[in-house]
Structure 1
Amino acid sequence: MKKVIALVLSFIGIIVLFNGYNKNVQAEETKESMSSKIIRFHVLANSDSEEDQALKLKVRDQVLEYIAPKLKESKSKEQSRNILISEEENVRNICLKAIRDNGYDYGVNIQLNKQNFPVKTYGNIVLPQGEYEAYRILIGNGEGQNWWCVMFPPLCFVDISKGEPAYDENEKNMKEVLDDEEYNLVDGTKKEKDVTFGFKIVEIIKSFFS
């Protein structure tokens, strides 16, 4: 009987390893496809001081108020990118004005390039670690914690007075750009509900000894 159990467990182990490998390969391909469809938005404060962090949010608010109407109707990543490029000087002036109005003389560096990012959560959206195109505004030294969201699809256009993600709109906008597999990868609510295959295997193994 013990030999039979050992053989069954070995067979299950092979299935788990094979299944896990295939899932990892598929997930990596899905992640690359998903990340290629997104433009992230980051605003980096001069430092982590309370004053610099508060200034960062004021700059963010002014930028989003200006750029939101221009990007909200964008139908593609390329269209959004072109808008951001064409509006760079206007955005820079808005940032500088917000900084000056609050009594600071920091410079502003605006970048649109690819960056590696760790796992980040925005409301019900979880973006995995990886390389993404990002629109980045660095205030002063740009050494403080950043505020971030997704510029395309347009997830940034929230109720600025609350500063909270619009969950229903997030889902709608992401699904318009991502396919089902890509959306499932970033759906934070789905991740909370999923029962992993590993737990099922544990239950099967336990059943042999019960």
Structure 2
Amino acid sequence: MNKKFMGIILFCGIILFTSFMSIGKIYENQKAYKNELIRFHVIANSDSPKDQALKLKVRDEVIKKLNPQFEKSKSLDESREIIKRNLGLIEEVAGTVIASNGYDYDVKANLGEVNFPTKNYGSITLPAGEYEALRVVIGDGDGANWWCVLFPPLCFIDMENGLTDERTKEEMKSVLTKEEFNMIYTEKKQEFPLKLKFKIVEVLEDAKEKINNKLVMK
């Protein structure tokens, strides 16, 4: 082999090694910051325009009801307790909205681990995986969902406000380490590389889960 060819192989090897190190770092850090967030998930009865509109009305009233308590919350544990002691109230508020709009759907609120796909929140990209979340399921829960981050309290930021992106970053920085924040924050020009890395991590996690399931079955 000539020196030029060896140089190309060495260069490619360095690139691959660096990429895998970067992906490994993302994999480890995303485990950490997933434990620092609580998401809010509202699932509509169906994808019909009326059911989707109802979902947003339920969302608005639940957020409005919880806002005063979450504005005072200073920690993940405190926010978790607020949710737990208000699950009945959340169902009551949602049920009232549903009934006042002429529907008789059941509604169920619970706090637990929920699997999410990769989602963007302004300049913040949250990778796919399991997150702790407050779920409000309307009726059959077969419709498209709406979501936000409940802690830190990003749900209560006006998404039409031009300062939303800056406020979002500040709220995230308040609960994440600098390294964790840098893993999920991306400028527009960096968006595709970050999403690609998250996708690779997602594939690796799926493969790991399948292998573990096979071992359990044996």
Q: Report the TM-score, using the length of structure 2 for normalisation.
A: 0.83
**Residues 1:80 and 2:75 aligned together:** no
- In 2, are the aligned partners of 1:109 and 1:139 still within 8 Å (CA)? yes
Partner of 2:5, secondary structure, is: helix
1:118 positional shift: 0.8
1:146 positional shift: 0.4
Residue 103 (structure 2) aligns with: 104
Residue 155 (structure 2) aligns with: 156
Percent of residue pairs identical: 41
Amino acid in structure 2 at the alignment position of 1:173? E
1:166 positional shift: 2.1
Residue 207 (structure 1) aligns with: none
Deviations 1:174-207 (A, max 9, x none): 0000111211122143x634796xxxxxxxxxxx
Partner of 1:71, secondary structure, is: helix
Residue 138 (structure 1) aligns with: 137
Residue 197 (structure 2) aligns with: none
Residue from 189, 192, 195 that aligns with 1:192: 189
Report the CA distance shift for 1:195/1:82 in structure 2 as closer, same or farther (over 3 A).
Answer: closer
Residue 172 (structure 1) aligns with: 170
Residue 205 (structure 1) aligns with: none
Report the CA distance shift for 1:39/1:194 in structure 2 as closer, same or farther (over 3 A).
Answer: closer
Structure with bigger gyration radius: 1
**Residues 1:7 and 2:6 aligned together:** yes
- In 2, are the aligned partners of 1:122 and 1:165 still within 8 Å (CA)? no
- In 2, are the aligned partners of 1:123 and 1:165 still within 8 Å (CA)? no
Aligned residues: 193
Matches within 5 A, 1:28-43: 28-43=27-42
1:111 positional shift: 1.6
- In 2, are the aligned partners of 1:158 and 1:164 still within 8 Å (CA)? no
1:124 positional shift: 2.3
CA RMSD, 1 decimal: 2.0
Q: Report the TM-score, using the length of structure 1 for normalisation.
A: 0.86
Counterpart-to-counterpart distance in 2, 1:164 and 1:94: 30
Unaligned stretches of 5+ in structure 1?
197-210
Deviations 1:66-120 (A, max 9, x none): 1011112211111100000011111111000011111111111112111221101
Amino acid in structure 2 at the alignment position of 1:157? F
Report the CA distance shift for 1:176/1:120 in structure 2 as closer, same or farther (over 3 A).
Answer: same
